Amino acid sequence: MNQDKEKSSFLSIFQEIAKNQDFGDQNDYAFPSADEEETFFHEGVDFSLSDELDHEILMHRDAHFGGDFATMIEYYEAEGIGAFGDIELDRIYELNALEQELGRNLAPLLLSGPEAEKVAKARRMYAQLKEIYEIKETSVIPRLIADLILTEEREPVKETLAVIEKGKVIIPELLSLISNDDFYDPLFPGFGLAPSLAIYCLGEIGSTEAIPPIFEVLGHHPLFEEESILTAFSTIGEPAKKFLLSRLKGRPLTMDNENAAFALSVFANNQEVAKACLNQLFDPMVYSQPTLANYLLCNCVELSNEEDRVKLRQLAEDTTIPSGIRSEIHDLLNDWYTEIT
């Protein structure tokens, strides 16, 4: 099978997975009637007062473990990679015991319609991924992406190497993965970890076309693990540096400037980057975004040219600059002086 056929075959499958479809009609929950709710209330079970985390536990159970507490408990006891840090195993035990006592599935009693629909969507995505393995004529690329999403390894070396070895032909599929918001959600296949693996692979492949999409992840997924993004930019190297510098210098100031300054930290030992960040500190508007100013200053640590250091001393004496920033500049200057002496 040639590469064009592999690519075409995969996109037709993966784009179907990536669609933001509404699977609400397939959630298979039978919600209790008003009479049933009244019965449970009189029995001392007021589900309207359930903790929000209980909803997360039930959604997590139904999305990833087929609605079976026993399977979920076994997974959590083994500390699988998809175990939520906020979910305590003791609470899973308690909900399991309560469900057995009532003889009823707790999910329809606790979960709202939108929550049930979200679970159904996650289940549907699992089913579509499973279909990839069952279709005999499916090319290797869909299976490699499915392996990347579904891996249970904390360090999936085998899976990432297999993807990286495909080279540029697999880039569109990796970009499709990181552009889909669902894969950042721990409720969906991959437990929210798949985009990080895809970004790592894109960096190792050296995909320059992936630089803007990877950068967008910083802005749209603020809680996402940032180390994989920085690693990818560092691995891609010069093209990534140039892109980030262009975003850093853009006006008017937006979150792009802040994200670019943060990402440029991987190139902070580069004098071009350090000088560019120093020059940004001379723009008064920068100080309207304190976090941006701090990132810029951190990237100035490696300034080696005495003329540039003199400019930084000038900033330290500028009373129009916030005192906190000036204090940090003085600390940096003192560190330099200490190194000299």
**Can you list the domains of the chain with their CATH numbers?**
1-28+118-224 (no CATH), 30-110 (no CATH), 237-341 (1.25.10)
Q: Which two tokens stand for residue 131?
A: 């279909």
Residues 73/96, Cβ–Cβ less than 8 Å? yes
- 79 pLDDT tier (thresholds 50, 70, 90): very high
Residue 337 has pLDDT above 90, yes or no: no
Task: Please give the average per-residue pLDDT across 202-216, as a whole number.
Answer: 97
At 43 the pLDDT is: 56
Q: CA 317 to CA 321: how far, in whole Å?
A: 9
Whether residue 236 contacts residue 211, with contact meaning beta carbons closer than 8 Å, is answered with yes
Q: How far apart are CA 106 and CA 92, in angstroms?
A: 12
Residue 103: which pLDDT band, with cuts at 50, 70 and 90? very high
pLDDT at 291 over 80: yes
- For the cut 60, the answer to whether the pLDDT of residue 23 exceeds it is no
Residue linked to tokens 């056929």: 5
Average pLDDT on 79-96 reads: 93
Structure tokens at 208: 């320059």
Lowest mean pLDDT among 104-113, 137-146, 196-205: 137-146
Give residue 34's pLDDT: 57
Q: What residue type is 134 in one-letter code?
A: E
Percent of the chain residues past pLDDT 70, beyond the cut: 83
User: Coil, helix or strand for 112?
Assistant: coil
**What six digits make up the tokens of 240?**
């990534």
Q: Is the pLDDT of residue 6 over 80?
A: no
Given a cut of 90, whether residue 45 has pLDDT beyond it is no
Q: What is the mean pLDDT of the chain?
A: 88
Higher pLDDT, 235 or 3: 235
Assess contact for 44 and 133: CB atoms under 8 A.
no
Cα 75 off chain centre by: 22
Split at pLDDT 50, 70, 90, the class of 86 is confident
Average pLDDT over residues 318-333: 94
pLDDT at 33: 60
pLDDT band at 31 (very low <50, low <70, confident <90, very high): low
Report the sign of the C-alpha dihedral through residues 84, 89, 91, 97, in that order. positive
Question: Angle at which helices 227-236 and 211-220 pack, to 10 degrees?
Answer: 160
Task: Give, in degrees to the nearest 5, the angle at Cα 129 between 128 and 134.
Answer: 90
Q: What is the mean pLDDT of the segment spanning 183-189?
A: 96
Question: Tens digit of pLDDT for each residue in 126-169?
Answer: 999 999 999 877 689 999 999 999 999 999 999 999 999 999 99
pTM score, whole prediction: 0.87
Q: Give per-residue pLDDT as tens, 255-272.
A: 999 999 999 999 999 999
